[in-house]
Amino acid sequence: MEFTSELRLDDNVLEREFTLARPGDPIPGTLWTPPGTAPAPLILMAHNNGLSRRQPRLVARARKTAAFGYAVATIDTAECGDRPRTAAAEQVLAELRRAMQAGEPVDEIFESLVGPLVAQAVPEWRTTLDALLALPGIVGPVGFSGWTAVGIRLAVVEPRIAAVGFFAGGYVPRAQRDEARQVTVPLRLLLQWDDEGNPRQAGLDLFDAFGSKEKTLHANMGGHVGTPAFEIDEGDRFFARHLK
């Protein structure tokens, strides 16, 4: 892991850009750490497929969570942010846009797009986790917040994940819907009641499928980007119960 920039923010959170070296395809990421010198539990914060780790909503959430006392890290996985786009992925995206404009079913197209992204992203997140936990001042246990499809798979295969916070919006491949019953760590699922393009019942069915004995559903009125700001604080308190 190589740090490429360092910035002390107004809230005294330290923001550092980093790169994980890999032949031909380095993984770019950002790490936010809280003020003070006490060891901080780590939260992996994954953005939805195709977006950048510099997405303003994610950065705001990461900064607030770091100020609460956590180390927070995110990366651009394959086909996301600063990573190069493959011709195959661009073709699937073009087909998705065409089908949506034509009002055609898109589940199979999403499956062909998101499934491979999850398969690529989870090993990259595990490599990132290894590097982060080797840094001074960052400790386990580890939380995961964000991209549900990746988080389900990561919670199943990565024993260092102790608690997860998911968002019900966004396509979850069939493989991860089947794996949901294997997720047994404490879980918090956010659902926007009127999320355009993400059927409410699909989110409710997913919540029901999780195998966690401790799981909480937070449903709020509004569309996809209408999650209330207070849910960030609620999420930080959820992780405090399980990581601190």
What does the alpha-carbon distance between residue 203 and residue 69 come to, in Å, rounded to a whole number? 30
Average pLDDT rounded to a whole number, residues 27-34: 95
Q: Does residue 142 lie in a domain region?
A: yes
Residue of 112, 132, 110, 124 whose CA lies nearest to 81: 124
Q: What is the pLDDT of residues 141-193, one digit of tens each?
A: 899 998 899 999 999 999 999 999 998 878 899 999 999 999 999 999 999 99
89 pLDDT higher than 90: no
Average pLDDT rounded to a whole number, residues 211-228: 91
What does the alpha-carbon distance between residue 145 and residue 188 come to, in Å, rounded to a whole number? 9
State which residues form the domain around 54. Answer: 2-84+117-243
Q: Does residue 7 lie in a domain region?
A: yes
- List the CATH number of the domain containing 24: 3.40.50.1820
Q: Is the dihedral of CA 19, 57, 233, 122 positive or negative?
A: negative
Roughly what angle, to the nearest 10 degrees, separates helices 230-243 and 56-67?
50
Q: What is the pLDDT of residues 68-81, one digit of tens each?
A: 999 999 998 887 77
